Every structure is written in structure tokens, then in C-alpha cells.
Amino acid sequence: MVDRPNKPTAIPVGSSTAVPAPQVDISSDNSSVTATLPSGDSVTVLLFGATVTSWKSAGGKKENLWLSEKAILDGSKPVRGGIPLVFPVFGPPPSDHATSSLPQHGFARNSRWEFLGKSTSESAGKGSAGDDSVTLDFGLGSSNLSDSAKQAWPFNFGLVYSVTLVKDVLTTNMTVRNEGTKPFECQVLFHSYLKVDDIANTTVSGLDSIEYVDKVNGASTQTETNKAVTLTGETDRVYKALKPEAKVVVKENGKPLYEVGRDNLDDVVVWNPWAEKAGGMGDFAPKDGYKQMICIESGAVSGWQKLDGGDSFEGAQIIKSVL
């Protein structure tokens, strides 16, 4: 599936005699991995769900991801906040599909992943003193699944999830491979909770003239007419078929806060539960925390990716934190 011949040893990684290098640490309970750049930027990934729970930029001073104060981090349920992974189905599975027996959003966010190792490079900044990029790789395959998940979705697959940290930029990349002979269909999405100061002062641009499915409005199909989308209530929209070069920009008080780009992912979900729905979630805290978050989720979810035996699908999300 996704094995590497040499599993990573206990880290931190770096050289005491060389120029500054990224530091990679595995938590004492082996539940998470944290990478820190010489600049102070950092990212933390929980092995349960391979969920990014923290991404700090601006020298480690700015937390970019919203994480519920009551997020469950012990592996008993998916994490509320950060960047949970959606695979092989987005939303409630359709009753007439091979994923019909799976839980909402599939099993990737409910499974423990393997840490496959790290790599570094200086490609992001010529002439800098030390490594300025680090990639953490995680793997999940059929053999890692619970018996119930295997029964619900009996296909042989391998996932490699790469989290790359560069100063002020976080890239999440998923590769899906059909390791068996039976074809299967899947969906992939990065469920990113971005942190804002006040949703009332937040707008989203880059979606003008894009067709979307409004899940709050009876799954009706609409076309976005606003150059700057504002959120004034529960929002759950799947914007479809964005151009590859299109950037979705989150602004606060008119100033760019995040730029979200995609590679081989055509869809963008905009989500916020608002007061009533947040109030009904036991792991959502504080209850008015919806005012400090907006989900901008890149994915391939408006249709299905069909993979024959040996085929692969790869897609990535690139988030830039703008100071």
C-alpha cells in the first residue's frame, strides 16, 4: 500500500553543525507530529485522521486554523476544527452508491494514519540560510482500516497525504491509488476551518459567476452574483467547476487574510454552521465560535473520481496566509 522501506526514527531532525533546519518532533504519546521552520512557522498533524490541528505563520505568532475548545483529540471521534480529511465520500453517502454504508464524510478522518517520514528543501527561497520548506508524509491503506470500514467499503486502496509547510503557506496534497483490480469511485476534500476575527466583517471573493449547490436551500442550484460573498446565516455551498488558476480570497475589513488555490481540485465548499447549528454540536465551543471561523474547503466532490485497478488521482490545496 503506502509502505516505505525505512520507517522514520524518533526525531527531532536537524544538524547541530549546519545552517538552521526545520525541526520535526513526534509527541511523547506518539499521537501527533509537529514541524517547525527556522522562521518559527509551524504545523501540527494529529495521526488520528491525519488532521492538521494547528498552522502558525508570521514567525509562529499567527494561528490560521480554528479549533474547537471541545475538539476531541483522543481518537474517539473526528476532530472539530483544523483540517479534517474527507474520503471516499463527501457528506451523507448516497443510498444508491458503493459508499452507502459509510459514515458521513467517509473514514479517512476516523482512521489512524501512519507517519511515513519527512523531507526538506530550499526551493521556496533562494539564498536563504537553511531549509525553508518541510514536507510531512502520512499513509493510510486498506490494511489500516477497522473491520467495519473494510466491510462497508471493500476495496484495496492506498492514500499518501503530504503536508508541506513553507513560510506563510500550507499545502495539503492527497494521492489516491487503486491497489486492487476492482474499480471504485471516490471523492476527496480538505475540510479547512480558517480562523477570522469576526465573520460579520469577513468576505469571500473569487466565486463570482460560479454555479453552486445550496445545501441550506434544498440543494438548489444557484449562480453566484456577488463579487464579495458575505455570510449572514448558516451557509453550506458547493461551488463547482472553478478554473484551475482561480484563487478564493478571504478578506476581513476589506484586507486579504487568506488566498486559497487548488491543483486538480475543481470544487470549493463554503461552510459556516451559524448559531443554531453550532449550538446543537456537543464538540463545538465556544458556542459563538462560528463568529471566528469560515470553512473554505477545496475538493473533488460535485462528481466522482473513477479509478480502475492501478489508477491514481492526486489533488492539492494551497493556502497562503496574508499578513
Instruction: List the binding residues.
Output: 80, 104, 109
**CA-to-CA separations, 48 to 31, 85, 163, in angstroms, rounded:** 7, 10, 15
Distance (Å, whole) CA 150 – CA 265: 27
Helix (H, G, I), strand (E, B), or coil: what is residue 289? Answer: helix
* DSSP assignment letter at 70: T
Q: Determine the distance from the C-alpha atom of residue 293 to the mean position of all C-alpha atoms in its chain, rounded to a whole number.
A: 15
| CB of 288 closer than 8 Å to CB of 232 | no
Options 105, 114, 191, 252, the catalytic residue: 191
Q: How is residue 151 annotated by DSSP?
A: H
Identify whether 97 is a catalytic site residue: no
Q: In whole angstroms, what is the distance from residue 313 CA to residue 49 CA?
A: 19
The number of residues in the chain equals 323
If one counts every other C-beta atom within 10 angstroms of the C-beta of residue 74, the result is 9
CB 167 within 8 A of CB 132: yes
- Beta-ladder partners of 293: 195
Query: Which residue of the set 105, 114, 252, 297 is catalytic?
Result: 297
Q: Which residues are annotated as a binding site for substrate?
A: 80, 104, 109
Which strand (E) or helix (H) includes residue 163? strand 157-166
The answer to whether the CB of 172 falls within 8 A of the CB of 52 is yes
Is residue 105 annotated as a catalytic residue, yes or no?
no
The catalytic residues are 191, 297
